[in-house]
Structure 1
């Protein structure tokens, strides 16, 4: 053990000597090494995919294990074949704890040549006819080197291995959060990641099972079931279903040109203006950028012909709102209240600030250091963002979707269809991201929302009719929802998180 500690100390000194501050989790380097870690462990360790391991392990690999000694590449593969993949009836499974993952670039004269990746992971055992169960946890440090554009793991330290006290605990037992099995644990995580509050809505079998709230909406004021969050892009699924209700009533059409009712002056002379339909907009195939202010001249234009490919666009949803308001000669907020909010009892949901909102209930946004952010009170509807709602109201909305949304079979089936392809493993329906071919033959519909200081997610499952809504009034909130989804929904949740990070 003394020898190992000496080696570990030397390695840490050498590897961190040239490192700078850790990179942001949304940076290209972080994402690339997250994928590399996935090849090493998710594909290699968990699935016994030798070819995946060979792609990422360096020919001069040095593997240090605090219980198993040291290994080179050949010794590693020999032990891997025997201990990890040798018995199909007793298969070890590794799961990364995403919120612990950190990456530190290594440079020489300003040139990137490698990186340090560190984090923590849990270990489980999968046996036939048994639910997967946790056995222990450990920490790891991987030194990656960049060779000819490819990342290779040259030195791996696996240490601080500890067995779990309640060995054999189920991985996903009756919707009690694994590793979130008490309120104190969640509060500790909020403190650790400087997250003021998190609110959770849990859906099971098409019904709202429970609401859980933790932390504070602002200094000294506890969060509650009726606390109001700004949920950013979680506005879009709401907008989509308001529109689907109008389509179902025959006052709007999914496939007629939107130009029949509205044309933005910026694109009035475009050859594509009469090709844009509601289907294109709701499935993010409008051809627009996310926002026109991202262009040099602040003008809206088609980057491609509508319907020919996928590109996320808030402008598209706003375009649709303006067209509907012009045809019906009514504010979109009023239409939403009539078609969705009032019938569902979503009594604390608004597209913008009104005098009906009690500002004392507002969950103020917080930065990455846990400090309150000055917030703006928007006073006009935006079909893409800025919706104000509670965890209970949004949970009611998801339950409504799972149970058919009061739509005709024809129109509900349009929502259930894949309408556009974003990337491998991720498609889009009308207004929501769609993930098919998940474990247990499951299909998920989900959407995230993120402005500075607020992070939200909503997810529902077609077959089980289960779901989860999570709001956090923190810039760091994504860390928590990744962890909760991956642990709460087991292998299905892990796969969802993996696809969204790649």
Structure 2
């Protein structure tokens, strides 16, 4: 090996050269038909490797770059978790106080410009009075992910919102819960989500190409999403700021956010201590779909749990804190290991990307702890497992 060649440090102390990592990821991208993919790795709490593979637009064969704007999907939630942790640390919100106590009207009577956003269906179910900010951020409200999709993944066009279980008793991923907390935060502070995010996250971290709203400067800087057949998906422009999933960002910007979180945790910040406190043990077989209501002890060894907007797992190298993102044509995953001052960010504009996540995590930083089956990150070359998983989702 060339003694001058740069090296990536892994969790177990092993290393991989940049060139071998480049080669391996390119092979995976090509073999699994991943239209575009970016990989960022953190050692010593800072970015040491960053590269883009594939295309921003497969049809036009435009090369993908790390400073292009991606739909961030649910990476929106990890930023929101950090924002709310700041507010909680400053005493602006009590995470264990019912959200109803912050409002002048009952939650089912809240008025929205878009009527379908409301919670009118809950008026005869007083359990809404128990929901707290902590429940919203740790996905234990009992509300569905989205009102038009059932807990098992079945599309329900009527879009009625209801409880699947008593708030605070189980884990079930819920964008609806996240949105409810956003509305209350906006009420408490008198500021919109975008204003709060700019003030507390985007501007301080120089995340100039990140926003919960579409900005004119994104117009010629974004990449398109792609289907499993590498068909280009027309850009969908969000029409409102949504904590659960409207954020646009770049791999470059989001890596600034991850570096900041790593640094805070390394310095024993009360904000990250609050954000990464375990709130709910998770024993579901998978995070979404029919398997999400089946119980298992498969993730008992990693003590799968949830904090404020971030998942938590335990390894021989300390805790890992993760957040994924999944939307039409875009698939992302991030995880940090603060005790090793290490982390990794995968961002892709392809519906095939999750099929290489398991191997990229392993080859990149030796992460063999991310619960890939729970996340439904079934490898592209594991046809039996993919067939089984797809039959249950």
TM-score (norm 1): 0.61
Cα distance change of structure 1 residues 497 and 254 upon mapping to structure 2, 3 Å threshold: closer
In structure 2, relative to structure 1, the CA distance for the partners of 1:435 and 1:369 (3 Å cut) is same
Give per-residue Cα distances to partners, 1:144-167, cap 9 Å, x unaligned: xxxxxxxxxxxxxxxxxxxxxxxx
Matched, 1:257 2:108: no
CA distance in 1, matches of 2:61, 2:73: 25
2:248 to 369, 374, 388: 388
Give the superposition deviation at 1:175.
4.6
Q: Which protein, 1 or 2, shows the higher relative CO under an 8 Å CA cutoff with sep ≥ 6?
A: 2
**Separation (CA, whole Å) in 2 of partners of 1:306 and 1:407:** 33
Distance 1:399 1:326, change over 3 A: same
State the match for 1:415 in structure 2: 275
Is 1:430 aligned to 2:308, yes or no? yes
State the distance in 1 between where 2:16 and 2:278 align.
29
Contact kept, 8 Å, 1:285 with 1:307, in 2: the verdict is yes
Counterpart for residue 204 of structure 1:
43
1:194 has 2:33 as partner: yes
Structural mapping, 1:486-497, within 5 Å: 486-490=362-366, 493-497=367-371
**Aligned pair partner of 1:346 in 195, 207, 212:** 207
2:187 partner SS = helix
> Is contact 1:421–1:427 with CA below 8 Å preserved after alignment?
yes
CA distance in 1: counterparts of 2:13 and 2:230, whole angstroms:
31
Q: What is residue 292 of structure 1 aligned with on the other side? A: 147
Question: 1:398 Cα deviation (Å)?
Answer: 1.2
1:204-246 CA deviation, whole Å, 9 max, x = no partner?
Answer: 1211223211222112321112111112111110111111111
Q: Answer whether contact 1:348 1:393 (CA < 8 A) is retained.
A: yes
Give the equivalent residue in structure 2 for 1:239: 80
Post-superposition Cα deviations, 1:237-296, rounded to whole Å, max 9, x if no partner, equal 011111111112222221111112341333234221221100111111111011111265
User: Which position in structure 1 is the counterpart of 2:388?
Assistant: none
- Partner Cα distance (2:89, 2:267) in 1: 6
Q: What is the CA deviation profile of residues 328-370 of structure 1, one whole-angstrom value per residue up to 9, with x for unaligned ones?
A: 222101110101110011111111212232x222110001111
* 1:459 corresponds to: 335
Q: CA deviation at 1:402?
A: 1.6
Q: Which residue of 2 aligns with 1:500?
A: 374
* RMSD, matched Cα: 2.3
- Give the distance between the partners of 2:256 and 2:146, measured in 1 at CA: 30
Tell me if structure 2 keeps the 8 A contact 1:172–1:487.
no
CA drift at 1:478: 0.6
Q: Shift of the alpha carbon at 1:488?
A: 2.1
Match of residue 134 from structure 2: 279
Which protein is bigger by CA-based radius of gyration? Answer: 1
TM-score of the aligned structures, taking structure 2 as reference length: 0.77
Summarize the Cα distance change of 1:233–1:501 in structure 2 as closer, same or farther, 3 Å threshold.
Answer: closer
Q: CA deviation at 1:442?
A: 2.4
Task: Work out whether 1:480 is the aligned partner of 2:321.
Answer: no
Match of 2:320 among 423, 439, 444: 444
Contact kept, 8 Å, 1:419 with 1:427, in 2: the verdict is yes
Q: Deviations over 1:189-211 (max 9, x none)?
A: 32322222111121112112232
Say whether the 8 Å CA contact 2:265–2:338 is kept in structure 1. Answer: no
Counterpart CA distance in 2 for 1:405 and 1:331 is 27
Which residue does the alignment assign to 2:111? Answer: none
What is the distance in 2 between the residues matched to 1:408 and 1:265? 42
| 1:289 to 1:235, Cα distance in 2 relative to 1, 3 A | same
SS at match of 1:486: helix
Please point out which of 372, 392, 398 is paired with 2:232: 372
Change (3 A) 1:486 1:408: closer
Distance of 1:476 and 1:261 partners within structure 2: 43
- Output aligned runs, 1:22-101, within 5 Å: none
Query: Which whole-Å CA distance do the structure 2 matches of 1:306 and 1:394 have between them?
Result: 32
Are the structure 2 counterparts of residues 432 and 182 from structure 1 closer, same or farther at C-alpha, using a change threshold of 3 Å?
closer
Deviations 1:95-145 (CA, angstroms, capped at 9, x unpaired):
xxxxxxxxxxxxxxxxxxxxxxxxxxxxxxxxxxxxxxxxxxxxxxxxxxx
Query: Is the aligned partner of 1:470 residue 2:346?
Result: yes
Report if aligned partners of 1:321, 1:383 keep a CA contact under 8 Å in 2.
yes
SS at match of 2:370: helix
Q: Residue 389 of structure 1: CA displacement?
A: 0.5
State the secondary structure of the residue aligned to 1:456. strand
Q: CA deviation at 1:185?
A: 4.5
1:186 is displaced (CA, Å) by 3.3
Partners of 2:65 and 2:77 lie apart in 1 by 25
